[in-house]
Chains A and B, each alone.
Chain A
């Protein structure tokens, strides 16, 4: 029966940076490669910060695989990098350009719709020459198995397809990784949630307001007390003619604080510090959100099974190096390494060895060490211990701590430690580095911002209304609609809110036979497919069918 199925040497699922790198490398090695992407166009499903890095130590870079990437697919390069520690109106700014430049060949801001659709054309061209090609609007919905072995993929829009290698580059909430039993969607501690607004800038305003030339750009990061104590921070990156302003929070912290992601974003957008750049004008081009895996906890040490190899977010390969977020670059490296592994194994006539070769390459090329640094394991074992964490936290917050901060600053230690890639990669996931320390630093050393920022970001209803959707069948089902099981999604879903009826999740009290039940209801129409409720609520979670659901124009 399965003999009638189409066969390709390699099938790549997902055409983000990981899938594009895998496909281009496979094609370069003459492997017949089919790429399947669920969006109407590559990038239409993707949200990123996003600064894409080309690391000196990386085995592959995006411009190495795709010449002209920087001139044609990206926005501005980052030439300055700052961290703002915020306590109320007080701000202490630390120049992090050194940390940013460490191991960096270059780093550019990108908008994913433009970047990924540019990659799509190139990938289609090179894979078509191998007899394959790239198809959009096709959602892979599972793995094809024969006698228990993975032999291909099943799709909603196509008949099953067999392949000698399947590279799952399907991003965070990878349905293939879940189907293979390699990743689960259980633990909020393994994830961040990223939320972002693209803000329009009048022509010439970026250069003028940020004091940069046309071929320069800035990254600003924000941490401290402006996010209701939720662990995480904010960012602002300059694009050609717009700004990417967003937040990234630990999902467990967001849930614990019952914080509303859009309100945290608004807290950043309306902070007086941003007035110098927004200058009272605010036109939001797009609101978007997506989960981000935390490689320190989620990166799979052995991301393959049979013919299946996971790359990028699908394998949890997203590194948060302190405030620096590196996912796209690792997806590129991993994608190309998986491709290389398969083509070598195939040449030796042992395609079954591809997965093991890929794992070895991840280790030998130093990718795994960045994703799961050993010092972090030690530091976190101590630092994330509850007693130690609260002690560190109160110490930093104490007057002794503040004295220490002042001394450290005088000695130049503060800037040095923030700029240390080592310190940044082993920082424990406690309140201290995200909230308490930045707030204490700002209180001890900060200068008050006098400007007023009176911009009014749109409310959730307008944000949803401005997005483009091609609504298909509901793709998420509530398994347990009790508030205890799924209530966390009401606040954590970036397009829902406790007092808002037009979002995905709603909080409901139902009276039956004299007793009250606290329930949640779900309407997937306004869903931005961020993946949050796959983790924090009891759901049967899938992506919508190919071409259906939200369509990001910016990303």
Chain B
């Protein structure tokens, strides 16, 4: 079983990491790049597949050379075997459409066609959720989105997935799809390892990956424009039909509020609290 995970580097939006200039623009140079948090679920789904069915996991990303470290992080997390970075100046400033075309070409370029491609559920910077489905569309494969649990029948070459229906957490449907297939893992995806054998293999993988992740560059291939032989009109800025008309910062909630401190022991004070609250109390 060969699985491929599509992953992306995003600015680390966590407090203390992210940095904005005076106009509220993100300062890329001062903000570290990390793996898109939602891709973690795709990685877990791929790892579960590897643990249960063996085979290899590859990670692929399109982005600047700095994304190598993102791939390394992914390798350590998911015990991946190979890393692919699609990187070239020409590919820069791509929107989700141009990115999908590039990724799809990258997938076709692999020696060993993946049985499943896993994508995370939308990125923390773009928030579109387009790239996975569009890449799948380019491949002309089936796609199962919002996957929370996964089972694979290697002999029948099918997968059976439980997926959340339209954002309603309560509703789960089970679907079957032929391989190869695209799978978008939902943030609710939970890997399960209920066999001792699976946990032991998981442990083996962890032990053997440490060294690989340290020397990750030995397992990394960088595909540039020349290698992929992409039509310049379909990639990078030129290949991106999206036009960003403007960006409005989300106004911050006011930090000042009026407050009155009341000592719970102060009876008169507490009486006034109840008085204030009374209008809000539900009438019987």
Contact = CB atoms under 8 A, between A and B. Distances in A.
Interface of A: 6, 8, 34, 36, 124, 128, 132-133, 135, 138, 157-159, 161
Contact of B203 (A8, A36, A133, A158): A133
Interface in B167-213: 194-197, 199-200, 203-204
Given A132-B200, A133-B200, 10 more contacts: A6-B195, A6-B196, A8-B196, A34-B196, A128-B200, A135-B203, A138-B196, A157-B194, A158-B195, A158-B199
B195 A135 contact: no
Contacts of B199: 135, 138, 158
Contacts of B204: 128
A493 B185 CA distance: 47
Contacts of B194: 157-159
B200 A161 contact: no
A385 to B, nearest CB: 52
3 closest A-B pairs by beta carbon, nearest first, are A133-B200, A159-B194, A135-B199
Interface string B104-142: 000000000000000000000000000000000000000
B151 to A, nearest CB: 14
Contacts of A36: 196
A34 B197 CA distance: 9
B200 A158 contact: no
B112 to A, nearest CB: 28
Contacts of B195: 6, 158-159
B197 A135 contact: no
- Dominant SS at the B interface? helix
B55 to A, nearest CB: 20
B201 to A, nearest CB: 9
Contacts of A8: 196
20 contacts: A6-B195, A6-B197, A8-B196, A34-B196, A36-B196, A128-B200, A128-B204, A132-B200, A133-B196, A133-B200, A133-B203, A135-B199, A135-B200, A135-B203, A138-B196, A138-B199, A158-B194, A158-B195, A158-B196, A158-B199
Contacts of B197: 6
Nearest to B194: A159
Contacts of A159: 194-195
B202 to A, nearest CB: 9
A159 B196 CA distance: 8
Nearest to A127: B200
A164 to B, nearest CB: 15
Interface in B230-255: none
B205 to A, nearest CB: 13
A503 B249 CA distance: 50
Nearest to B203: A133
Nearest to B197: A6
A8 B199 CA distance: 14
A82 B90 CA distance: 80
A6 B197 CA distance: 8
B42 to A, nearest CB: 24
Contacts of A135: 196, 199-200, 203
A54 to B, nearest CB: 31
Interface in B74-114: none
Most-contacted residue by chain A among B196, B197, B200, B204 (CB, 10 A): B196
Nearest to A5: B195
A132 B203 CA distance: 12
Nearest to B195: A6
A158 B192 CA distance: 10
B149 to A, nearest CB: 16
Contacts of A124: 203
A450 B94 CA distance: 83
A70 to B, nearest CB: 26
Nearest to B201: A133
A135 B194 CA distance: 12
A55 to B, nearest CB: 34
A87 B196 CA distance: 56
A135 B197 CA distance: 10
A95 to B, nearest CB: 48
Contacts of A132: 200
Nearest to A34: B196
Nearest to B202: A135
A158 B193 CA distance: 7
A128 B199 CA distance: 12
Contacts of B196: 6, 8, 34, 36, 133, 135, 138, 158, 161
Nearest to B199: A135
A125 to B, nearest CB: 10
A135 B203 CA distance: 9
B124 to A, nearest CB: 29
A117 to B, nearest CB: 15
Nearest to B204: A128
Nearest to A160: B194
A157 B195 CA distance: 9
Most-contacted residue by chain A among B194, B195, B199 (CB, 10 A): B199
A124 B195 CA distance: 17
Interface string B6-36: 0000000000000000000000000000000
Contacts of A161: 196
A133 B205 CA distance: 13
Most-contacted residue by chain B among A124, A135, A159, A161 (CB, 10 A): A135
Contacts of A34: 196
Nearest to A8: B196
A254 B197 CA distance: 45
A481 B147 CA distance: 46
A163 to B, nearest CB: 11
A124 B196 CA distance: 13
A237 B204 CA distance: 38
A124 B202 CA distance: 13
Nearest to B200: A133
Contacts of A133: 196, 200, 203
A331 B140 CA distance: 62
A133 B199 CA distance: 10
A373 B204 CA distance: 46
A546 to B, nearest CB: 11
A337 to B, nearest CB: 25
A138 B196 CA distance: 9
A8 B197 CA distance: 10
A238 to B, nearest CB: 35
Contacts of A138: 196, 199
B207 to A, nearest CB: 9
A120 B195 CA distance: 20
A132 B197 CA distance: 8
A124 B203 CA distance: 10
Interface in B18-73: none
B137 to A, nearest CB: 39
Contacts of B203: 124, 133, 135
B197 to A, nearest CB: 6
Contacts of A158: 194-196, 199
A128 B197 CA distance: 11
B282 to A, nearest CB: 32
Contacts of A128: 200, 204
B210 to A, nearest CB: 14
A132 B194 CA distance: 15
Nearest to A137: B199
B94 to A, nearest CB: 43
A82 B1 CA distance: 65
